[in-house]
């Protein structure tokens, strides 16, 4: 019931606000219905939603794990860049590997690259007492510029003017849904970039869920996040765990590259991420940091993105950036909810007197 | 050399405005990582307003108002609703980065940039005759008025903080909120005002970028300056004058980068991207190694455990 | 002087069903130095906070100059001429002395007229005999001078009644002397002083009248001249009850479970431990008595490895630092922390999760890193039943339990049968008599089984019933040690409060 509330009410709210915006933009709100049905009732829309939801699951997990221990990871954006470029780099050097080696290697290196970039804020937070928020923000920019260099020089695709890397070797390709379905003789999800790395995301969510709620490690993290002093008193090594969390969070964020590079684009395009790292914060907040809930809220946000794409397609006045605005409105709503509830309660109490 | 110094000043100006605005907010005890978003909305506002009104000063006024109002959203979320300042600031940033292209598309049917403005509708360099009579300073006497303002601003802020009762209360709101409350001053009111004014100052930065430094608003044109400004505040240890120095230094790296980009030779040895990342790397290194534990205003330290 | 200046008339206050003040009535004369004395939790601070407008009374009235008064917030109290110096100073550390003094009462001019203000404050300093450097930053001042800033702040606001809550708790003896003499001077200038303290010497030497409180009630209000130390101590502690102090030790203790020698800590601010030496043998309960904040907390932090120290500590026969805090737990070290909600429990967690905190890597609670829920559940059920925690549900959030039952969870976890050295801090604080007796019985059983217990408590009865030996800690050092049976309650009280050592 509660989860229904958490997802459903925001969706209705978003619907209303979007209708308002569309109306204000001088468009017929009826296109809302068309965009909605294109998004949610067509395999094409669903394919895109899955494609957008996959990275959001990864970054949502990355943020949520840290949140559970009371830490802020705003660095998913940088971590996912390293994860993506690592795949291109490994394919550049080992282009002849057979599929059964190439795919695991790509996945592992993407995770590893993200983890290494997560190691920096983790170390600085745990052992130098630096503020993880400022550090991760700075690291995001450093990652953008340095990865930008790799895209433009060592790994550049010489055959094009645009800022993108070479195409990875085909042994690293993760099959798209369309390919997978065509093995069964259907054409479902054709032309959408949805790919099997979605299942890696699902697996990660499940894994995160198990670690958090079923393992001694997750127990320690949640203890740290709920009552830091008591956790320290009980002998939990909070520094080691902080480091460990940032590394794991980084690895999750790095896996975004698997969806983007191995799954759909097969190359890294400069600026490909429309802020997956920051959206991950919204995803985690809506799901109250529950890994399985993150799957649902990633679908909400992924759907939002597809929906915005459809709107842009159907209208001359609306750009797909409306999805970012809607995300922000959703966040404001979530932030205000306890306060609103308190005020409503107060008013009701007063009217009783 | 003279050109280089002038270029440094031009690049430092938006950083100074942004960091001074941020400094006010942070000194009032509210962590403010949404400078970036405020720069964006104010830059867009002034470019769009200028397009219709053809008056740079009116556009600046509109930008100040919008910047202030956006910071009021941050103030509302953190002070009134008591939500986490980091999440609140990220929300403001998201809103800004989504809203600007959305409105741009709506108003100008183009979601990447606003129409280019004619020269006469932008801020123009102000030639100061007084300065021009001195031998060396003469070379630095042909800047936009905002540049002069930016250099004066940290000193004004310094005096405001130390010599007015408003400044006193602002510092108390950040360093000893309990003391302020027991002294009978409204903490919320102090913080609301500080954040609004801080937003206005940040808006100067956006205006400068859009209708001073260039002639249009371009999508994501703040390009991380809000975060650099934040780093400058931290490196300046939340003091106006040291923050000014940090801003000028970052302006210097910007100018350097432009300089180096034009020389092919150097670009081969040291690609532009690395110089681009220099402000961030330096901030990080200073933050971690040179300063030890940064000592933010006490109330900020508390919200982040 | 017939009409009392300040009068409390049957004031009562409850916090969540616990009564903090019951029918408190006493009077304070204008221009007098009035002391309020009592043990921790006697309700001294609460009654003053009611006067100051921090809390509102449930019933009863406060009369100021014969007029019934109730302040809704401290600002109103300040405007009425009442000022309070809290135990924790409310100053802005980064501002200078004069800025702190004028904060909230600045003149309305564009720039602060610094020279004028400095002259005004300097005049105030001269009038009342202060000599602070007004330009100095507050954070650089020693604690004693920070307190003077607080007092000056009140005088600047023209306060007539000054309330000081345990002002000497944070001061060195010399600073205390200076402060109290200064207060005497203020009294001579027609200010009314109300001093909350538990140090008997301060009351006897400086006050005119004194109100003695115990368990939220006024025991007596007397002229100080009619009292002596012994009488005051007896009034404060209650009658010298004959607690059954029996040496229940079943055998002569031999092996030491804790050996501390020349333990010292360094800290820039606050209290330091100074050269502590202490042994706890297996089968022995050693009590540590002391007014709160005399170094007990630091000692706990050192033993739980949260604070660095110099000196030697051997726990369970090995150097403390040879193992991590976690490993020491496995070796049989249990801690009942001083604040169960802050340090001992993760309140939103379930009972079963709280029962394994600090032991969660042990078998059978986990295997291969996975928590083994059936085993945890089984263990939790056994423990909850054994320690009679109600309601006895392993998957109920600990936050929903009463204080006594929360404490039982901690004791079930920390003082299990395996424990060989137990550090117990205020184990029965805030629990009912039944639970307390249950805990005491449990500790005695542990002792009989050969565990060593170090008991830190502010409940002197508890210390005397349980302990074999009692040490008194004051200002970071042990100042006395005797067998428990050789301490009388007034002796102990006097030694703790520092009138006699």
Mean pLDDT for A294-311 is 91
Mean pLDDT for B94-114 is 89
Whether residue B13 is contained in a domain is answered as yes
Q: Which residues contact A58 (CB under 8 A, 6 or more apart)?
A: A80, A201, A204, A252, A253, A255, A256, A259, A276, A280
Distance between CA B105 and CA B88 in Å, rounded?
A: 26
Of residues C179, C143, C175, C142, the one with CA closest to residue C164: C179
C227-271 tens-digit pLDDT? 888 888 788 777 655 555 555 555 555 688 999 999 998 876 667
Task: Please give the residue range of the domain that contains residue B100.
Answer: 2-114+145-291
Mean pLDDT for A307-330 is 87
Beta strands in chain A, from DSSP E residues, in sequence order: none
Mean pLDDT for C15-29 is 83
Chain B residues with beta carbon closer than 8 angstroms to that of A318:
102, 105-106
Q: Are C42 and C35 in contact (CB under 8 A)?
A: no
Q: Is the pLDDT of residue A4 over 70?
A: no
Which CATH code is given to the segment(s) C254-332+419-501? 3.40.50.300
Q: Cβ separation of A128 and B224 shorter than 8 Å?
A: no
- The C-alpha of C496 sits at a distance from chain B's nearest C-alpha, in angstroms, of 32
Q: Are C499 and C472 in contact (CB under 8 A)?
A: no
Q: Is the pLDDT of residue A89 over 70?
A: yes
H helices then E strands: how many in chain C?
Answer: 16, 22
Q: Which helix (H) or strand (E) holds A226?
A: helix A216-226
Q: Are B239 and B3 in contact (CB under 8 A)?
A: no
Chain B residues with beta carbon closer than 8 angstroms to that of C107:
165
Of residues A62, A32, A124, the one with CA closest to residue A273: A62
Lowest mean pLDDT among B82-96, C243-257, C335-349, C466-480: C243-257
Q: What is the DSSP letter of A25?
A: T
Whether residue B219 is contained in a domain is answered as yes
Lowest mean pLDDT among A289-298, A316-325, B259-268: B259-268
Distance between CA C466 and CA C357 in Å, rounded?
A: 27
Whether residue B300 is contained in a domain is answered as no
Q: Is the pLDDT of residue C167 over 90?
A: no
Q: Are A240 and A126 in contact (CB under 8 A)?
A: yes
Q: Is the pLDDT of residue B163 over 50?
A: yes
Structure tokens given for C280: 């706890």
Q: How confident is the model at residue C501 (pLDDT cuts 50, 70, 90)?
A: very low
Burial of C368 (C-beta count, 10 Å sphere; 0-12/13-18/19+): exposed
Q: What is the DSSP letter of A164?
A: B
Structure tokens given for A6: 């958490």
Q: Which residues of A touch C (CB under 8 A)?
A: 210, 214-217, 219-220, 222-223, 226-227, 229-237
Q: Which residues contact C180 (CB under 8 A, 6 or more apart)?
A: C168, C202, C205, C206
Q: How many domains does one find in chain B?
A: 1
The sheet with strand C285-289 has its strands ordered as C333-336, C421-425, C452-456, C285-289, C469-474, C477-483
Q: Are C72 and C230 in contact (CB under 8 A)?
A: no
For residue A311, what pLDDT is reported? 87
- Of residues A25 and A323, the one with the higher pLDDT is A323
**DSSP string of chain B, one letter each residue:** -HHHHHHHHHHHHHHHHHHHHHHHHHHTT-----HHHHHHHHHHHHHHHHHHH--HHHHHHHHHHHHHHHHHHHHIIIIIS---HHHHHHHHHHHHHHHHHHHHHHHHS-SSBPPPPPGGGS--EEE-HHHHTSTTGGGG-EEEHHHHHHHHHHHHHHHHHHHSHHHHHHHHHHH-HHHHHHTT--HHHHHHHHHHHHHHHHHHHHHIIIIIISSS-BTTTTTTHHHHHHHHHHHTTT-HHHHHHHHHHHHHHHHHHHHHHT-HHHHHHS-HHHHHHHHHHHHHHIIIIISSS----HHHHHHT-
For residue C252, what pLDDT is reported? 59
Distance between CA C145 and CA C475 in Å, rounded?
A: 19
Q: Are B4 and B10 in contact (CB under 8 A)?
A: no
Q: Which residues contact A224 (CB under 8 A, 6 or more apart)?
A: A69, A70, A231, A236, A238, A241
Count of C-beta atoms within a 10 Å radius of residue C375? 15
HSE toward the beta carbon, residue C469, CA cutoff 13 A? 17
The Cα-based distances of B86 to A207, B92, B93, C388 in angstroms read: 28, 10, 11, 44
For residue B293, what pLDDT is reported? 52
Q: At what angle do helices A216-226 and A197-214 cross, to 10 degrees?
A: 70
Structure tokens given for C329: 């737990």
Q: How confident is the model at residue B29 (pLDDT cuts 50, 70, 90)?
A: very high
Q: Is the pLDDT of residue B261 over 80?
A: no
Q: Give me the CATH number covering residue B271.
A: 1.10.3470.10
Where are the domain boundaries for CATH 3.40.50.300 in chain C? 6-237, 254-332+419-501
Q: Is the pLDDT of residue A241 over 50?
A: yes
Count of C-beta atoms within a 10 Å radius of residue C322? 11
Alpha-carbon dihedral angle through residues A299, A303, A306, A310, given to the nearest 10 degrees: 170
C143 touches chain A (CB under 8 A): no
Distance in Å from the first CA to the final CA of chain B: 47
Q: Is the pLDDT of residue B198 over 70?
A: yes
Distance between CA B60 and CA B66 in Å, rounded?
A: 10
For residue B268, what pLDDT is reported? 65
B95 touches chain A (CB under 8 A): yes
For residue A1, what pLDDT is reported? 44
Q: Are A134 and B234 in contact (CB under 8 A)?
A: yes
**DSSP string of A134-161, one letter each residue:** HHHHHHHHHHHHHHHHHHHTTTB-TT-S
Distance between CA B8 and CA B280 in Å, rounded?
A: 17
Chain C residues with beta carbon closer than 8 angstroms to that of B298:
93-94
Interface-testing mutation among C370, C377, C397, C398, with chain A (most A C-beta atoms within 10 A): C370
For residue B265, what pLDDT is reported? 63
Q: Is the pLDDT of residue A154 over 90?
A: no
Cα torsion angle, A256, A261, A265, A267, sign: positive
Count how many residues are written for chain A: 353
Q: Cβ separation of A331 and B304 shorter than 8 Å?
A: no
Judged by DSSP in three states, C14 sits in strand
Structure tokens given for A238: 């909070």
* Subunits with 3+ C-beta pairs closer than 8 A to C: A, B
For residue C268, what pLDDT is reported? 62
Judged by DSSP in three states, C218 sits in strand
Chain C residues with beta carbon closer than 8 angstroms to that of A233:
304, 306, 335, 337, 343-344, 358
Burial of C269 (C-beta count, 10 Å sphere; 0-12/13-18/19+): exposed
- The C-alpha of C94 sits at a distance from chain A's nearest C-alpha, in angstroms, of 21
Whether residue B281 is contained in a domain is answered as yes
For residue C239, what pLDDT is reported? 60
Chain B residues with beta carbon closer than 8 angstroms to that of C111:
163-164
Q: Which residues contact A308 (CB under 8 A, 6 or more apart)?
A: A320, A321, A322, A323, A326
B206-243 tens-digit pLDDT? 999 999 888 899 988 988 899 999 989 988 889 999 99
Mean pLDDT, all residues of chain C: 86
- The C-alpha of B181 sits at a distance from chain C's nearest C-alpha, in angstroms, of 9
Distance between CA C284 and CA C254 in Å, rounded?
A: 10
For residue C500, what pLDDT is reported? 46
Q: Is the pLDDT of residue A351 over 60?
A: no
For residue C142, what pLDDT is reported? 82
Q: Are A197 and A111 in contact (CB under 8 A)?
A: no
Q: How confident is the model at residue C484 (pLDDT cuts 50, 70, 90)?
A: confident
Alpha-carbon dihedral angle through residues C279, C284, C286, C287, given to the nearest 10 degrees: 170
The Cα-based distances of B119 to A124, A160, B57, B207, B211 in angstroms read: 48, 36, 14, 15, 9
Q: Which residues contact B159 (CB under 8 A, 6 or more apart)?
A: none
Structure tokens given for C441: 């019985």
Mean pLDDT for C418-443 is 86
B292 touches chain C (CB under 8 A): no
Count of C-beta atoms within a 10 Å radius of residue B214? 17
Q: How confident is the model at residue A87 (pLDDT cuts 50, 70, 90)?
A: very high
Q: Are C44 and C38 in contact (CB under 8 A)?
A: yes
Torsions phi, psi of A5, nearest 5?
A: -60, -45
For residue C1, what pLDDT is reported? 46
The sheet with strand C209-214 has its strands ordered as C82-85, C161-165, C192-197, C33-37, C209-214, C217-223
The greatest distance separating any two alpha carbons of chain C, rounded to the nearest whole angstrom, comes to: 79
Q: Cβ separation of B183 and C91 shorter than 8 Å?
A: no
Q: Are A336 and B80 in contact (CB under 8 A)?
A: no
For residue A199, what pLDDT is reported? 95
| A47-106 residues touching B, CB cutoff 8 A | 70, 72, 74
Q: Is the pLDDT of residue B303 over 60?
A: no
Count how many residues are written for chain C: 501
| B227 closest CB neighbour out of A72, A130, A141 | A141
Q: Cβ separation of A229 and C342 shorter than 8 Å?
A: yes
- Report the DSSP beta bridge partners of residue B143: B126
Mean pLDDT, all residues of chain B: 87
Peptide bond into B215 cis (omega under 30): no
Q: Are B176 and C92 in contact (CB under 8 A)?
A: yes
Q: Cβ separation of A138 and B77 shorter than 8 Å?
A: no
Distance between CA C150 and CA C83 in Å, rounded?
A: 9
ipTM value for the complex: 0.86
Q: How confident is the model at residue A348 (pLDDT cuts 50, 70, 90)?
A: low
Q: Which architecture, in CATH terms, is C6-237?
A: 3-Layer(aba) Sandwich (3.40)
| Closest residue in C to B295 (Cα–Cα) | C94
Q: Is the pLDDT of residue A128 over 80?
A: yes
Distance between CA A80 and CA A95 in Å, rounded?
A: 22
Lowest mean pLDDT among C51-60, C237-246, C305-314: C237-246
B113 touches chain A (CB under 8 A): no
For residue C434, what pLDDT is reported? 77
B171 touches chain C (CB under 8 A): yes
């Amino acid at each position: 019931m509660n989860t229904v509330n958490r997802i459903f009410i925001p969706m209705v709210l978003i619907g209303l606000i979007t209708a308002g915006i569309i109306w204000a933009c001088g468009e017929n709100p009826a296109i809302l219905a068309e965009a909605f049905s294109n998004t949610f009732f067509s395999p094409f829309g669903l394919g895109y939603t899955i494609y957008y939801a996959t990275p959001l699951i990864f970054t949502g997990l990355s943020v949520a794990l840290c949140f559970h221990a009371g830490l802020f990871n705003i660095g998913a954006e940088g971590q996912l860049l390293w994860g993506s470029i690592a795949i291109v780099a490994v394919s550049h050097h080992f282009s002849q590997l057979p599929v059964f080696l190439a795919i695991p290697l790509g996945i592992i290196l993407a995770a590893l690259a993200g983890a290494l970039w997560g190691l920096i804020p983790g170390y600085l937070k745990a052992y130098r007492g630096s503020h993880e928020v400022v550090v991760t923000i700075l690291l995001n920019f450093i990652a953008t510029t340095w990865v930008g260099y790799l895209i433009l020089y060592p790994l550049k695709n010489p055959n094009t003017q645009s800022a993108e890397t070479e195409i990875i070797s085909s042994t690293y390709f993760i099959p798209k849904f369309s390919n997978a379905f065509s093995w069964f003789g259907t054409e479902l999800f054709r032309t959408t970039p949805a790919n099997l790395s979605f299942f890696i995301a699902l697996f990660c969510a499940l894994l995160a869920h198990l670690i958090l709620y079923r393992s001694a490690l997750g127990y320690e993290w949640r203890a740290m996040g709920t009552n830091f002093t008591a956790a320290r008193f009980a002998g939990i090594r909070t520094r080691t765990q902080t480091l460990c969390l940032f590394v794991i969070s980084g690895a999750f964020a790095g896996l975004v590259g698997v969806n983007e590079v191995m799954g759909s684009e097969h190359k890294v395009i400069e600026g490909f991420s429309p802020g997956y790292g920051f959206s991950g914060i919204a995803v985690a907040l809506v799901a109250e940091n529950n890994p399985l809930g993150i799957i649902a809220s990633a679908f909400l946000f992924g759907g939002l993105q597809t929906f915005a794409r459809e709107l842009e397609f159907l209208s001359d006045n609306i750009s797909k950036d409306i999805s970012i605005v809607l995300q922000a409105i959703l966040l404001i709503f979530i932030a205000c909810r306890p306060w609103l509830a308190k005020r409503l309660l107060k008013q009701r109490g007063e009217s009783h007197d | 050399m003279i050109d280089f110094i002038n270029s440094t000043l031009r690049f430092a100006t938006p950083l100074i405005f942004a960091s001074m605005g941020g400094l006010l907010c942070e000194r009032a005890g509210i962590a403010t990582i949404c400078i970036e978003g405020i720069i964006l909305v104010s830059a867009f506002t002034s470019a769009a307003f200028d397009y219709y009104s053809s008056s740079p000063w009116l556009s600046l006024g509109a930008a100040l108002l919008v910047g202030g109002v956006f910071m009021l959203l941050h103030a509302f979320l953190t002070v009134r609703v008591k939500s986490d300042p980091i999440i609140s600031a990220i929300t403001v940033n998201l809103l800004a980065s989504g809203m600007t292209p959305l409105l741009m598309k709506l108003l100008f049917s183009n979601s990447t940039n606003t129409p280019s403005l004619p020269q006469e509708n932008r801020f123009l360099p102000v030639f100061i005759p007084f300065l021009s009579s001195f031998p060396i300073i003469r070379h630095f006497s042909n800047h936009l008025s905002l540049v002069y303002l930016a250099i004066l601003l940290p000193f004004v802020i310094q005096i405001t903080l130390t010599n007015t009762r408003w400044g006193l209360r602002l510092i108390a709101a950040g360093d000893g909120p309990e003391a302020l409350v027991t002294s009978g001053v409204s903490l919320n009111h102090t913080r609301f005002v500080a954040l609004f004014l801080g937003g206005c100052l940040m808006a100067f930065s956006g205006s400068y970028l859009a209708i001073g430094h260039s002639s249009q608003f371009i999508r994501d044109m703040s390009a991380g300056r809000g975060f650099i400004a934040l780093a400058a505040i931290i490196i300046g240890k939340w003091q106006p004058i040291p923050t000014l120095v940090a801003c000028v230094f970052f302006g210097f790296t910007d100018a350097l980068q432009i300089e180096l980009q034009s020389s092919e030779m150097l670009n081969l040895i040291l690609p532009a991207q690395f110089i681009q990342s220099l402000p961030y790397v330096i901030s990080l290194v200073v933050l971690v190694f040179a300063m030890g534990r940064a000592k933010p205003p006490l109330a900020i330290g508390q919200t982040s455990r | 002087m017939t009409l009392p200046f300040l009068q409390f008339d049957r004031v009562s206050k409850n916090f969540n069903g616990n009564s903090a003040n019951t029918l408190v009535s006493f009077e304070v004369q204008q221009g007098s130095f009035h002391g309020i004395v009592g043990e921790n939790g006697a309700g001294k601070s609460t009654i003053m906070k009611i006067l100051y407008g921090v809390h509102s009374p449930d019933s009863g009235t406060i009369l100021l100059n014969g007029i019934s008064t109730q302040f809704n917030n401290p600002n109103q109290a300040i405007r009425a001429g009442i000022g309070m110096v809290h135990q924790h100073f409310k100053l802005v550390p980064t501002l200078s002395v004069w800025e702190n003094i004028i904060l909230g009462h600045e003149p309305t001019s564009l720039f602060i007229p610094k020279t004028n203000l400095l002259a005004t404050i300097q005049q105030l300093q001269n009038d009342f005999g202060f000599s602070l450097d007004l330009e100095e930053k507050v954070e650089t001042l020693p604690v004693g001078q920070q307190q003077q800033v607080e007092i000056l702040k009140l005088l600047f606001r023209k306060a007539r009644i000054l309330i000081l809550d345990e002002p000497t708790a944070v001061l060195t003896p010399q600073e205390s002397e200076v402060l109290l003499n200064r207060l005497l001077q203020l009294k001579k200038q027609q200010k009314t002083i109300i001093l909350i303290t538990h140090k008997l010497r301060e009351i006897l030497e400086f006050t005119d009248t004194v109100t003695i409180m115990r368990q939220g009630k006024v025991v007596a209000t007397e002229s100080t001249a009619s009292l002596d130390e012994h009488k005051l101590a007896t009034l404060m502690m209650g009658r010298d009850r004959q607690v059954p102090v029996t040496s229940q030790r079943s055998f002569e203790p031999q092996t030491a479970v804790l050996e501390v020698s020349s333990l010292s800590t360094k800290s820039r601010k606050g209290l330091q431990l100074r050269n502590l030496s202490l042994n706890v043998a297996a089968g022995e309960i050693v009590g540590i008595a002391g007014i709160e904040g005399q170094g007990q907390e630091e000692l706990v932090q050192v033993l739980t490895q949260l604070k660095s120290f110099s000196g030697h500590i051997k726990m369970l026969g090995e150097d403390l630092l040879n193992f991590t805090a976690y490993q020491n737990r496995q070796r049989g070290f249990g801690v009942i922390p001083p604040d169960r909600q802050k340090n001992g429990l993760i309140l939103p967690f379930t009972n079963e999760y709280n029962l394994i905190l600090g032991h969660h890597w042990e078998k059978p609670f986990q295997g291969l890193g996975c928590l083994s829920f059936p085993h945890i559940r089984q263990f939790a059920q056994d423990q909850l039943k054994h320690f009679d925690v109600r309601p006895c549900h392993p998957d109920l959030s600990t936050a929903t339990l009463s204080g006594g039952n929360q404490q039982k969870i901690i004791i079930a976890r920390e003082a299990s049968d395996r424990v060989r050295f137990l550090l117990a801090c205020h184990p029965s604080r805030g629990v009912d008599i039944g639970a307390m007796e249950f805990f005491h019985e449990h500790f005695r059983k542990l002792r009989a089984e050969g565990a060593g217990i170090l008991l830190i408590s502010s409940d002197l009865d508890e210390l005397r019933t349980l302990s074999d030996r009692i040490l008194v800690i004051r200002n970071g050092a042990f100042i006395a040690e005797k067998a428990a049976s050789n301490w009388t309650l007034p002796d102990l009280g006097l030694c703790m409060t520092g009138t006699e050592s």
